[in-house]
Structure 1
Amino acid sequence: MKRHLSSLGLAFCALTYSQAYATPSADINPTPGVLSRHDTASTLQWQAVDDDVLAQQTGKYANASMISGFVLTLLSQWQLPNGASATAQGTLSASHNALNQISASVSTQASVMNGSGNSGANPLAQTRGAQGISVNGVSQITQVAGDSNFGLNNAEISFSNAALPSLPGGNNNPNASAANAAGTLRASISFGNGGVSIALQTPAGLATQTIAPSGAQQAGAIAQLLQITGNRQNVVNQLQLSLQTLPVAATMLRQASVLQAMQNAIASTRR
């Protein structure tokens, strides 16, 4: 399992969370539905913590032998004020079977919907430069030129003993794409070459998510990008890695506790 995670560059060090903000005159008004559950993100606050404080913290560690499977889920959705939308999503799942062999599967979906009336796009607005940024690790970038927009980049990792989620209605294909007849709305997702690429293109901007594997030039990267050039746009990039952990027997917990107590006792005698 550890080899599969490394091949996708999924080196999450912590949960990362980013809320996009419009220009000073903008009002952020998320619409109901898939975006409404994120409307409390602006209340989150971050506080820097010194190294000497972090050194005293304890937590839980999950090693490779505890992971029995994982599901990587990506979703990008763009809703325009005229009712048009573009959506791309996909999942990559891997699990151990009864013979302790790893099996993997991929499912993807892409769709677009035309609208009527004003799309909210602003042809005079510009957002540029972010696509040329190269980052090792996790990056979340949002550029907004307009008013009353809502944009969200969200990446998270979770552990569970429950069954892993799946993508209902998806095709068993590593690629999916959709576009309207005019070519103004496009949605695509692709799994391949050890990475993932998802992109939405609309009259009011673009949204992308990329997972690039490690190589000679980089250590691996996960990037989420929003570029909004319009008004009253609602956009979300969401990436979730769900890890399925093996249940730990009571005897193993007792053994781990005894081992930790012995290690602490030995360490204290050396001080």
Structure 2
Amino acid sequence: MNRNLSQTGIAAGICALACAYSSGASAAESLADTQPATPAFLAAGGADAHPVQIEAVDDDVLAHQTGKYAGNDMISGMVLNVLSQWQLPNGATAAAQGTLTVEQSTSNQLSASVQTSAKVTDPVPGGTTRRNSGATPDTSVSGGQNVAVNGVSQVTQVAGNSNIGMNSATIDYNNSATQQLTGANSPSASASNANGTITAGIAFGNNGINVTLQTPAGRATQNIMPSNTAQAGSIAQLLQIAGNNQQVANQLQLSLQTQQLTAQMIRQTGVLQALRNIR
């Protein structure tokens, strides 16, 4: 289904987050804290050699530096794929996935479409129970859902043995065709087993995304926060496993489509950046 520009605030938020991530506007730690004042290969020079002085630079200074990065005006579209999967040792599975596609027309108008799907399979008659699901009722995992991070957070909490868990988030600028996940043209989807012990759900709405898998052995979630929250534009992936022999994965892939620049536009951009640096 197509949506107009006012309904694609989530796309703008995701693109802004990706651009901020790629431009490296803030540094985790200063170079002065991780490198010696004089590099060894320079300190061993002759009598006329002058040691290199390293000076820490604040983030507000770095934020005004120019270089090669993807600005908002360069992004012409995007494809966001999210997928969460859980496999229990008794053969039961849960999966929720969705794709958000934003395209720009020749008249610079944006259109968005969403596909979602959720599926639960349970070979145990009457629904999976704790006894055969690998869950360990004497253990618990909690607290990870309360972690607050502006940016991308990946939290894994495990209480059990022989588990496989993965949180994966990738952002790329590959203009080649991106494989989209298959699903219905709906902003949400949900599924559960017979007695509701395993559920899978995904929802696009309120400029955010929420994916949740719930099993007797724990839960897996992926959230992209809307712009009106304290964690505006953030991505959070969480795995909480209280069991044995569980296989769980959260995957998020954001592919940004960039405008193709002509040779003349590349030269003009290079000259402009050089003039800014001189200034």
Query: What TM-score, normalized by structure 2, do the two folds share?
Result: 0.74
Letter in 1 for 2:117: Q
Helix, strand or coil: the match of 1:260? helix
Question: Hey, what's the Cα distance between the residues in 2 that align with 1:144 and 1:134?
Answer: 19
Matched positions, count: 233
- Is 1:255–2:268 an aligned residue pair? yes
Paired position in structure 1 for 2:30: 50
Match of residue 77 from structure 2: 69
The answer on 1:115 being equivalent to 2:123 is yes
Q: Is 2:84–2:251's contact at 8 Å kept on the other side of the alignment?
A: yes
More strand per residue: 1 or 2? 1
Q: Residues 102 and 6 from structure 1, CA distance in 2 versus in 1: closer, same or farther, beyond 3 angstroms?
A: closer
Q: Which of 93, 100, 111 matches 1:85?
A: 93
Other-structure match for 2:225:
212
**Runs of 5+ in structure 2 lacking a partner?**
23-27, 36-55, 125-130
2:229 and 2:212 mapped to 1: Cα distance?
Answer: 25
Specify which of 203, 211, 214 is matched with residue 190 of structure 1. 203
What residue number does 1:160 align with?
A: 174
CA contact (8 A) 1:157 1:241 kept: yes
Deviations 1:125-158 (A, max 9, x none): 1101222333333221111000011111111211
Residues in 2 aligned to 1:4 and 1:227: alpha-carbon distance in whole angstroms: 26
State the shift of 1:205 in Å: 0.5
Give per-residue Cα distances to partners, 1:21-52, cap 9 Å, x unaligned: xxxxxxxxxxxxxxxxxxxxxxxxxxx86345
Partner of 1:5: 11
Distance 1:199 1:10, change over 3 A: farther
Q: CA RMSD in A?
A: 2.8
Give distance in 2, aligned partners of 1:226 and 1:4: 24
1:36 is aligned to: none
1:146 lines up with 2:160 in the alignment: yes
In the TM superposition, residue 180 of structure 1 has moved relative to its aligned partner by 0.7
CA distance in 2: counterparts of 1:59 and 1:150, whole angstroms: 40
* 1:14–1:216 Cα change, 3 Å: closer
CA offset digits 1:98-122 (Å, max 9, x no partner): 3221110000010011135932111
Is the 1:8–1:194 contact (alpha carbons within 8 Å) kept by the matching residues of 2? no
Specify the code of the residue in structure 2 equivalent to 1:119: S
State how far apart, in whole Å, the 2-side matches of 1:67 and 1:194 are.
19
Contact 2:212-2:219 at 8 Å conserved across structures: yes
> Residues 215 and 229 from structure 1, CA distance in 2 versus in 1: closer, same or farther, beyond 3 angstroms?
same
Q: Which residue of 1 aligns with 2:109?
A: 101
- Matched position secondary structure for 2:138: coil
Shift of 1:220: 3.7
Farther off after superposition, 97-106 or 190-199 = 97-106
8 Å contact 2:11–2:102 — kept in the other structure? no
For the residues of structure 1 that align with 2:165 and 2:218, how far apart are their CA atoms?
12
Larger-Rg structure: 2
1:60 matched residue in structure 2: 68
Once residues 194 and 86 of structure 1 are traced to their aligned partners in structure 2, the CA distance between those partners, rounded to angstroms, is 25
Q: How far apart are residue 164 of structure 1 and its match?
A: 4.0
Which letter does structure 1 place at the counterpart of 2:268?
Answer: Q
The structure richer in helix per residue is 2
The correspondence for 2:238, drawn from 211, 217, 225, is: 225
Partner secondary structure for residue 258 of structure 1: helix
In the alignment, the residues of structure 1 paired with residue 235 and residue 221 of structure 2 have an alpha-carbon distance, to the nearest angstrom, of 11
Q: Is the Cα–Cα contact under 8 Å of residues 10 and 208 in structure 2 kept in the other structure?
A: no
Question: For each residue in 1:32-84, what CA deviation from the matched residue of structure 2 results, as whole angstroms up to 9, or x when unmatched?
Answer: xxxxxxxxxxxxxxxx8634589799963111221110111110000112211
- CA–CA separation in structure 1 for the residues paired with 2:10 and 2:122: 38
* Unaligned ranges ≥5, structure 1: 16-47
How far 1:3 moved relative to its partner?
5.5
Amino acid at match of 1:5: A
Answering whether residue 245 of structure 2 is matched by residue 239 of structure 1, we say no
C-alpha spacing 1:153/1:250, structure 2 compared with 1 (3 Å): same
How far apart are 1:258 and its partner, in Å? Answer: 2.6
- Alpha-carbon distance, 1:6 to partner: 3.9
